[in-house]
Amino acid sequence: MKIILEYNLLYISIISTVLIFLLVAARFLLGRRIHRMFFSMAWMIVLVRLLLPLCVTIPAGWPEVLERVWGWVRVIPMRRYLLIWAAGAVVTITFFVVRYVMWGRILREALPIQKVPDIDEEMFTFMGIRVYVSDRIVSPVTYGIFQQKVLLPKYYMELTREQLKFILIHEKVHIDGHDNLNKFLVILAVCLHWFNPFAWLMYVCYNRDLELACDEKVIRQVGEDSRKDYAGVLISLAQGCPAVRPVYSGFAQNAVKERIIMIMSYRRARSWNYILCGVLALFSMVVFAVPVKTEEKVEPAKHSKQPISVPEEAEEKTLEAVEVTKVIEEDAIGTKADVVVKTKENVPLRIKILFRKELAVTNGSFISFQVKGKEWEAGIDDEYDGTVTIPEAVRYKGKIYPVTGIGNYTFYQCRKLRKVLIPDTVVEIKEKAFQSCESLKTLRMPENLELVEANPFVGCRSLESFQAPEGAGMKGQYQVKEGVLYTDYGRFLKVFPQGKKKKKFVIQEGVSQIAVCGFYGAQVEEVHLPESMLRVKSCAFQNCRNLRVIRAHQDTVFSGDSLAGAWRARIQRYE
């Protein structure tokens, strides 16, 4: 297990809904038997889940329903709805800020409390809190987040010493528990997850449970014999309560009837309350867990003794080098330079030169760096709809650097790109190198290929087949069979082309694994796995929406999210 950053806000919101629903159900069914102190603690777990983008990976599979929900949420393109979410968040934040400012202006007009006959002045200072009076409120409140102060209504002089003591103890509990800060964090969670009605439900229930938990702490301080007097003060101050206030705590607010019932039926917590709270805390950790999804790192083949390097044949022959047309950046210590070259088709292509390794790789960048109207500097122009020939080498400052790799995002979202010619000098293809090249139909693999990271062809929905080089074929551990890319000398299915039109695919005996995202988005309807198949890795059949049946041996192990997005797929086991 390891802690990872979770990038999908919708996933966090939906998985948190599970715990919110359980807490609301427990609150409704067992509310009078479980102390609200435990509920307020449980709401903090939900709050942490909503605010912190952290998850703990688990190597075990989930129930099928949860796996389907998980896969469905993961494939939703959140970037398309970013503006809608931002607009809703701005509106929600504006609502709370306006209300806070309006009430803050009223409460800041409060005056320091004056001495009251028959009531010792120490009453207002022995707790270390500042007490003020306002004629704009009808019940006591604690205002502020960091510099907090208690405000009493103007009729405080009519209160008895005992009543005033109850009020001050109640507000002191709010201050010691930093309840206003917690309310602010809950509001922040609501602003981020404004689209989730359960987040608003959490906001309402948390405010109520906060007051109930505060009442419980007060009763423990003043004694159970004072419950009746405390409830009487609550009733007397509850009349004419103002509208809901977002970021401060009040004495006679939030479901007075529910609070009176709780106060009069209060009993000290029993041992099973603590046990139930512990079980709830352990179960709530499920909302931080996701099925393991590791980035695949291909291990060197047993028969391969050398690391990735330029093939000897490429060094012996004269490489066809292209000149640099533009230098984007060169570091001061002379280790690398980002440049732009022109291909045979006169297309600008970004290249990274590594001086110390004396080689070069095609270089991409995140799509957000694109500046319309200027020369494309992230791989190639994403509007180009022809052929691109990757050069064998780059000539820079009188020296030739062989192109040995295709880097991340080189052809990212080049949806109109029809054909890419890869030279045999290339030995490495990075993840996302060809992602979303929707018009790419075939791709010839270089004969000296040594490393392909986790499916670089995700989103290539027209890609029908891979092609092996003419003549001797591929010289390393990678192989092409029936248009499918394999590694480990044919024992590891690496990539099944997404656009391959084949309803039924039978994997040959001897293949032992399917790589991460190996069948991503494939149109196949039925897949037969051989008895030699030991493991199907994470997201292997992700988004295979036409897939109905996977026939697998009873000993074949599937990762928890191997069928994410493949709604109709069922695994049929055979002996």
Which 3 state secondary structure label does DSSP give 56? strand
Residue 77 reports pLDDT greater than 80: no
Q: If you average pLDDT over each of 56-60, 262-266, 299-303, 353-357, which comes out highest?
A: 353-357
Global pTM exceeds 0.75:
no
Residue 403 reports pLDDT greater than 90: yes
Residue 431 reports pLDDT greater than 80: yes
Query: Would you tell me how many other CB atoms lie within 10 Å of the CB of residue 224?
Result: 13
Q: If you average pLDDT over each of 181-195, 200-214, 229-243, 262-276, which comes out highest?
A: 181-195
Confidence category of residue 550, pLDDT binned at 50, 70, 90: very high
Instruction: Provide the CA 342 distance to its chain's centre, in angstroms.
Output: 39
Confidence category of residue 73, pLDDT binned at 50, 70, 90: low
* DSSP symbols for 220-267: HHH-GGGHHHHHHHHHHHHTT--S--SS-EESS-S-HHHHHHHHHT--
Residue 323 reports pLDDT greater than 70: yes
Q: Which residue has the tokens 């809901």?
A: 244
Residue 217 reports pLDDT greater than 90: no
In the chain, the percentage of residues whose pLDDT exceeds 90 is 29
Joined together, the tokens standing for residue 371 give: 């500046």
Q: Which residue has the higher pLDDT, 262 or 82?
A: 82
Q: If you average pLDDT over each of 273-282, 308-317, 363-372, 525-534, which comes out highest?
A: 525-534
**Please, which residues bridge with residue 254 across strands?**
none
Can you tell me the distance from the alpha carbon of 521 to that of 543, in angstroms, rounded to the nearest whole number? 5
Can you tell me the distance from the alpha carbon of 201 to that of 13, in angstroms, rounded to the nearest whole number? 13
Joined together, the tokens standing for residue 471 give: 């003549």
- Write down the pLDDT at residue 304: 41
Average pLDDT along the chain: 77
Summary count for the chain: helices (H), strands (E): 11, 30
Give residue 398's identity as a one-letter amino acid code: G
- Write down the pLDDT at residue 101: 83
Confidence category of residue 484, pLDDT binned at 50, 70, 90: very high
Which 3 state secondary structure label does DSSP give 564? coil
**Please, which residues bridge with residue 388 across strands?**
420
Joined together, the tokens standing for residue 398 give: 């009188």
Residue 449 contacts residue 427 (beta carbons within 8 Å) = yes
Confidence category of residue 53, pLDDT binned at 50, 70, 90: confident
For the four alpha carbons of 211, 212, 213 and 218, in that order, the dihedral sign comes to positive
**Sequence-distant (≥ 6) Cβ neighbours of residue 238 within 8 angstroms:** 139, 252, 256
- Write down the pLDDT at residue 483: 93
Q: What end-to-end distance do the CA atoms of the chain give, in Å?
A: 32
Choose among 187, 190, 192: nearest CA to 53.
192
Can you tell me the distance from the alpha carbon of 27 to that of 143, in angstroms, rounded to the nearest whole number? 28
Confidence category of residue 295, pLDDT binned at 50, 70, 90: very low
How big is the CA angle at 519 (ends 535 and 412), to the nearest 5 degrees?
125
Choose among 531, 469, 466: nearest CA to 494.
466
Mean pLDDT in residue range 407-423: 89
Q: Which residue has the tokens 């005056």?
A: 111
Can you tell me the distance from the alpha carbon of 391 to that of 373, in angstroms, rounded to the nearest whole number? 26
Count how many Cα atoms sit within 13 Å of the Cα of residue 251 in the half-sphere of its side chain: 31
Choose among 560, 502, 492, 493: nearest CA to 526.
502
- Write down the pLDDT at residue 368: 37
Residue 185 — φ and ψ, nearest 5°?
-65, -35
Can you tell me the distance from the alpha carbon of 152 to that of 462, in angstroms, rounded to the nearest whole number? 71
**Please, which residues bridge with residue 149 across strands?**
143
Which 3 state secondary structure label does DSSP give 1? coil
**Sequence-distant (≥ 6) Cβ neighbours of residue 465 within 8 angstroms:** 442, 482, 483, 484, 497, 500
How big is the CA angle at 497 (ends 300 and 346), to the nearest 5 degrees?
90
Confidence category of residue 267, pLDDT binned at 50, 70, 90: low
Can you tell me the distance from the alpha carbon of 287 to that of 280, in angstroms, rounded to the nearest whole number? 12
- Write down the pLDDT at residue 357: 84
Residue 292 reports pLDDT greater than 50: no
Q: Which residue has the higher pLDDT, 22 or 261?
A: 22
* Of the listed ranges 143-147, 411-415, 489-493, 515-519, the one predicted with least confidence: 143-147
Residue 391 reports pLDDT greater than 90: yes
- Write down the pLDDT at residue 69: 62
- Write down the pLDDT at residue 493: 95
**Sequence-distant (≥ 6) Cβ neighbours of residue 190 within 8 angstroms:** 92, 199, 200, 202, 203
Joined together, the tokens standing for residue 106 give: 């009223």
- Write down the pLDDT at residue 47: 87
* DSSP symbols for 139-200: S-EEE-SSS-EEEEEGGGGGS-HHHHHHHHHHHHHHHHTTHHHHHHHHHHHHHHTTT-HHHH
H or E element at residue 236 = helix 227-238
**Sequence-distant (≥ 6) Cβ neighbours of residue 412 within 8 angstroms:** 364, 367, 378, 379, 382, 432, 433, 435, 436
Mean pLDDT in residue range 545-554: 93
**pLDDT per residue as tens digits for the range 107-158:** 777 777 765 544 555 555 555 677 788 777 777 778 777 777 787 777 666 6
Q: What is the DSSP letter of 202?
A: H
Q: What share of the chain is helix, strand, coil (3-state, %, to 5)?
A: 35, 20, 45
Can you tell me the distance from the alpha carbon of 440 to that of 335, in angstroms, rounded to the nearest whole number? 34
Residue 110 contacts residue 132 (beta carbons within 8 Å) = yes
**Sequence-distant (≥ 6) Cβ neighbours of residue 166 within 8 angstroms:** 218, 222, 226, 229, 230, 233
**pLDDT per residue as tens digits for the range 352-386:** 998 888 888 888 754 333 444 444 455 777 788 88
Residue 549 reports pLDDT greater than 90: yes
- Write down the pLDDT at residue 122: 53
- Write down the pLDDT at residue 553: 93
- Write down the pLDDT at residue 105: 77
Residue 528 reports pLDDT greater than 60: yes
**pLDDT per residue as tens digits for the range 160-196:** 777 777 788 888 888 888 888 888 899 999 999 999 9
- Write down the pLDDT at residue 241: 46
Query: Would you tell me how many other CB atoms lie within 10 Å of the CB of residue 266?
Result: 17
How big is the CA angle at 18 (ends 564 and 55), to the nearest 5 degrees?
60
